């Protein structure tokens, strides 16, 4: 398991100092079923906007 998960999305509630994600779990999905060929074909479903 990854020790540090980094995130550049500044308006996510889980983004902390140093661009580190502090969510207890990370959920990443593929745009094309259960396989992806590169990061452009994925999204982080853990994202929640501030406010």
Q: Tell me the pLDDT band of 15, cut-offs 50, 70 and 90.
A: very high
Quick one: pLDDT at residue 2?
Answer: 78
Report the DSSP beta bridge partners of residue 4: none
22-46 per-residue burial string, b: 16 or more CB within 10 A, e: under 16: ebeeeeeeeeeeeeeeeeeeeebeb
pLDDT in tens, 31-40: 989 999 999 9
pLDDT at res. 3: 84
The pLDDT value given to residue 1: 73
Strand partners, 20: 6, 16
14 in Cβ contact with 27 (< 8 Å): no
Domain extents for the chain? 1-51
**Predicted TM-score of the model (pTM):** 0.81
């Amino acid at each position: 398991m990854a020790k540090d998960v980094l995130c550049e999305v500044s308006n996510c509630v889980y983004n902390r100092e140093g661009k580190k994600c502090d969510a207890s779990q990370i959920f990443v999905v593929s745009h094309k079923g259960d396989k992806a060929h590169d990061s452009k074909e994925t999204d982080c479903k853990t994202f929640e906007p501030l406010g």
